[in-house]
Amino acid sequence: MNVTPEHMFRTKPAVDTEDLALSFMEEEVGRFDWSANWKKIKESGAARQRIEDWLAAMRVDHDPNEIVAYLDRLTDERKGRWL
């Protein structure tokens, strides 16, 4: 198939890390005071396991470490503000 470069585009993966991380944050951590809640979960040592359990319940195969890293960056960059 011959497709010119201007007609080529990359499609977004079906489920990406950002989508999963934000869904986990909203559904499992809570969107109100999420920054403090995430820090408490991290301090308890249960973050990775909670994400693994959530991914299994959602039937999604994804690396939980990527989600942890994204949420860590999110809390560093946003300082508790959702938007």
Tokens representing residue 20 in the block: 């999963």
Residues 3, 5: Cα–Cα separation, whole Å: 6
Tokens representing residue 56 in the block: 């299994």
pTM of the model: 0.76
Residue 30 or 69, more confident: 69
Residues 71, 65: Cα–Cα separation, whole Å: 10
The pLDDT tens digits of the residues spanning 66-78 come to: 999 999 998 888 7
State the pLDDT at residue 4.
74
DSSP string, the chain: ----GGG--PPPPSS-HHHHHHHHIIIII-STTHHHHHHHHHHHT-HHHHHHHHHHHHT----HHHHHHHHHHHHHHHTT---
